[in-house]
Amino acid sequence: MISKAFVVLTALLFSLNALSSAFAFPNNPKFLKRQEIEDASSPTGGGFGAVDPPPPPGPPQFTGTKLVHDGDHPWQPLRNGDERGPCPGMNTLASHGYISRDGVASPSQMVTAVQEGFNMENQFAIFVTYVAHLMNGNLVTDLLSIGGKTPRTGPDPPAPAHAGGFNVHGTFEGDGGMTRADEFFGDNHSFNETLFQKFVDFSNQYGDGYYNLTVAGELRFQRLQDSIATNPQFSFKNVRYFTGYGESAFPINFFVDGRNTDRRLDMVSARSFFQDMRFPPDFHRPPKPTSNEGIAEIFSMHPFLPGGNVDGKVNNFMVDPTSADFTKPCVLYADIVNTVQGLYPNPTGVLRRNLIKNLGFLYSSLPTALGAQCDQLFPYGQL
């Protein structure tokens, strides 16, 4: 039986929220003024100081469907230097100004943005955002790139940490993606037309021209088989195992207009999100806070255990019994903490304080996001 651990899958990523209003809307004059000051002070976005990270925002007051492609959030084309990455949801929110259009924001701002733009459930939004931030963000400046590594997040942390952003392989980005190629083949974050055409073909074959849960289950399994057959470094376990299934459900839960009840995504809207990073015209968000509904159905069509190709050979898949899976949510939490501890083996001062705080924010979301009561881990002690 699959537990509520499915709710941890995302994506954007993803998907990916509901931020404080002061940061959710770049038309806010205080937010714009801050950006102007930062942009003027240096080519990398201004001077950076240590930030005491605030607690993540709670749920918004209004959680129903509403127009999100509105006059306050017009789509704008990319400017030179703007960051975009493997998560079409966050890419779209940045292009509409729900976070800074340069693609760099704090985790609190990202949580607010996904709540406002996609009506993502609060605790789920907190979990996925702080996983990304702890593994791929700048813990001193409290900034995270939705694309690649950029000086806009501030000075590099001490090695082996990297502040590499969403493009870092193996967390939100990973092998077997629906519209992004495996890292082994070079570009793991750009829209891939060949893979999108497979998305379209499967939608035609199994969904009468729409992407739905049946399509999601068939395409997820096929993309795993593709990677096993072609990528000698294929890996699909721990965090990526969860986010890989999450990205299959994400388009159904967040890219379908909230006024529709059929839970199927048309191909014009799919391309708008995946390639153009743009809300379809008159797009309304879902009618209620949403996380990863449908994951159990997707998984059950072709159950797949975590693992990867071994010995640098294709078609050499082996199950990894130590990996987290949907029956072991607390193993996932432990793996995240162990990964963070490997990135920051001996933190001191502000860095240590911020690690403790961010790990606490992550832990607070576990009962809802993972559906489990896990023993809290304290690799850096307590404040």
Model pLDDT, residue 7:
37
* pLDDT band at 178; cut points 50, 70, 90: very high
Model pLDDT, residue 173:
83
**pLDDT surpassing 60 at residue 21:** no
pTM of the model: 0.88
Q: What is the distance between the alpha carbons of residues 198 and 189, in angstroms, rounded to a whole number?
A: 17
Pairing of β 235-236 and β 210-211: unpaired
200-238, pLDDT tens digit by residue?
999 999 999 999 999 999 999 999 999 999 999 999 999
* pLDDT band at 47; cut points 50, 70, 90: low
Which has more pLDDT, 48 or 60? 60
Sheet holding 317-319, edge to edge: 235-236, 307-309, 317-319
343-360, pLDDT tens digit by residue?
999 999 999 999 999 999
For tokens 């605030």, the residue is 54
Model pLDDT, residue 319:
98
Question: What is the token pair recorded at 66?
Answer: 């509403």
Nearest to 110 by CA among 56, 155, 181, 48: 56
Q: What is the distance between the alpha carbons of residues 378 and 370, in angstroms, rounded to a whole number?
A: 19
**Average pLDDT of the residues in 315-327:** 97
The DSSP bridge partners found for residue 104 are 145
Model pLDDT, residue 19:
29
Nearest to 88 by CA among 109, 54, 114, 49: 114
**pLDDT surpassing 60 at residue 131:** yes
For tokens 């693609």, the residue is 103
Model pLDDT, residue 44:
33
**pLDDT surpassing 80 at residue 12:** no
Q: What is the distance between the alpha carbons of residues 74 and 260, in angstroms, rounded to a whole number?
A: 23
* pLDDT band at 1; cut points 50, 70, 90: very low
**pLDDT surpassing 50 at residue 125:** yes
Model pLDDT, residue 55:
98
Residues in the chain, how many? 383
Model pLDDT, residue 227:
98
* pLDDT band at 40; cut points 50, 70, 90: very low
Nearest to 11 by CA among 216, 233, 272: 216
Q: What is the distance between the alpha carbons of residues 77 and 277, in angstroms, rounded to a whole number?
A: 9
- Where is average pLDDT lowest: 22-26, 137-141, 351-355? 22-26
Model pLDDT, residue 260:
96
Q: What angle do CA 248, 370, 11 make, to 5 degrees?
A: 30
Model pLDDT, residue 318:
98
Which has more pLDDT, 264 or 14? 264
Domains identified in the chain and CATH numbers = 50-370 (1.10.489.10)
Eight-class DSSP state of 57: P
Q: What is the distance between the alpha carbons of residues 381 and 383, in angstroms, rounded to a whole number?
A: 7
